[in-house]
């Protein structure tokens, strides 16, 4: 799956009502998570069954999935609540669209910065694994003291993670 492709998640039919368990399963979360987002006011059951079970619409599932994705992306619960309420807090479409665009652009910029850091860290850790592959064939009997004089670990291009996690131990 590429970064631009969203995962395919089974979606209920529009008129199907979903139990809390269905919501948890379809959002790949837990009952506790569904209840939490309901308590926080981000999702709301359409009604209750004769037995008192909460029944949610497909739209509420979409809201839950989006909220979970936004949390995973690093947005705070309050940021998510603000996004969900933004349109209704505005007097006209122009204001709503401008505010939503501004907030989303800021979030996109923040995500881009995080993605850049994660990519850099992935490259660094990959380089560390590559060096550690050489360490696997080390036959020094006085490990880890022998690492101080190791040719592999004396390289000036040694990844920072390796310097911190392996070289100085």
- Per-residue pLDDT reduced to its tens digit, 72-87: 998 999 999 999 999 9
Instruction: Kindly report the three-state secondary structure assignment for every residue of 72-140.
Output: HCCCCHHHHHHHHHHHHHCCCHHHHHHHHHHHHHHHHHHHHHHHHHHHHHHHHHHHHHHHHHHHCCCCC
Spatial CA neighbour of 89 closest among 81, 60, 102: 81
Q: Which percentage of the chain shows pLDDT scores above 90?
A: 62
- On the question of pLDDT at 117 being above 70, the answer is yes
Label residue 134 by pLDDT band (50, 70, 90).
confident
Residue with tokens 């994660």: 118
CATH for 10-75, among 3.40.50.150, 1.10.1660.10, 2.60.120.10, 3.40.50.300?
1.10.1660.10
Domain residue spans of the chain = 10-75
pLDDT digits (tens, 9 = 90+) for 15-37: 589 999 999 999 999 999 999 99
Whole-number pLDDT of residue 14:
46
Spatial CA neighbour of 81 closest among 26, 57, 89: 89
Whole-number pLDDT of residue 145:
82
- On the question of pLDDT at 156 being above 90, the answer is no
CB 19 within 8 A of CB 25: no
Rg (CA), the chain: 24
């Amino acid at each position: 799956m590429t970064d631009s492709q969203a995962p395919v998640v089974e979606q209920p039919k529009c008129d199907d009502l979903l139990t809390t368990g269905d919501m948890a399963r379809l959002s790949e979360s837990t009952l506790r998570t569904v209840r939490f987002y309901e308590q926080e006011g981000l999702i709301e059951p359409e009604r209750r069954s004769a037995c008192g079970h909460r029944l949610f619409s497909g739209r509420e599932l979409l809201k839950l999935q989006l909220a979970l994705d936004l949390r995973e992306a690093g947005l705070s619960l309050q940021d998510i609540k603000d996004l969900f309420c933004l349109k209704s807090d505005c007097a006209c479409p122009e204001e709503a669209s401008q505010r939503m665009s501004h907030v989303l652009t800021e979030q996109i910029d923040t995500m881009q910065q995080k993605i850049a850091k994660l990519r850099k860290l992935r490259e660094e850790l990959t380089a560390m694994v590559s060096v550690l592959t050489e360490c696997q064939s080390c036959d020094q009997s006085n490990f880890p003291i022998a690492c101080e004089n190791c040719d592999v670990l004396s390289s000036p291009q040694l990844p920072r993670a390796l310097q911190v996690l392996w070289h100085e131990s």
